[in-house]
Amino acid sequence: MLFFCPSCGNILIIEEDTSSHRLSCNTCPYVSKIKRKISTKTFPRLKEVDQVLGGVAAWENVDSTDAECPVCSHKRAYFMQMQTRSADEPMTTFYKCCNHLCGHNWRD
């Protein structure tokens, strides 16, 4: 939400006053105290790692290795490697805990 100066039409900036915040214009002497909350923060829901990698089907025919799960400390994990960056960067290794009660995903 943008606010514009009623005198000159330039965009108003938010400044901290000694007791509160205020809207002020850089071009003219217009100043207005903020009397109510004018914005809210909303954070998008992030996709789970499993959805990005292709879902349950992507983990059907993968190998397992000795890797400790950071959640349940199980000693084995399924793994797959994917090229997620440019070709001159190393591949990213994705892990999924072999403990079916845990199933935690992480990457290296």
Cα separation of the two ends of the chain:
40
Q: Is there a binding annotation on residue 25?
A: yes
- Identity of residue 28: C
Q: Parallel, antiparallel, or unpaired: how do β-strands 76-82 and 21-24 relate?
A: unpaired
Q: Cα–Cα distances in Å, from 57 out to 18, 53, 83, 85, 100?
A: 58, 9, 18, 23, 15
Q: Is there a binding annotation on residue 98?
A: no
For residues 98, 101, 105, 108, the Cα torsion angle rounded to the nearest 10 degrees is: -40
Give the annotated binding-site residues.
5, 8, 25, 28, 69, 72, 97, 102
Which residues does the annotation place in the binding site for Zn(2+)?
A: 5, 8, 25, 28, 69, 72, 97, 102
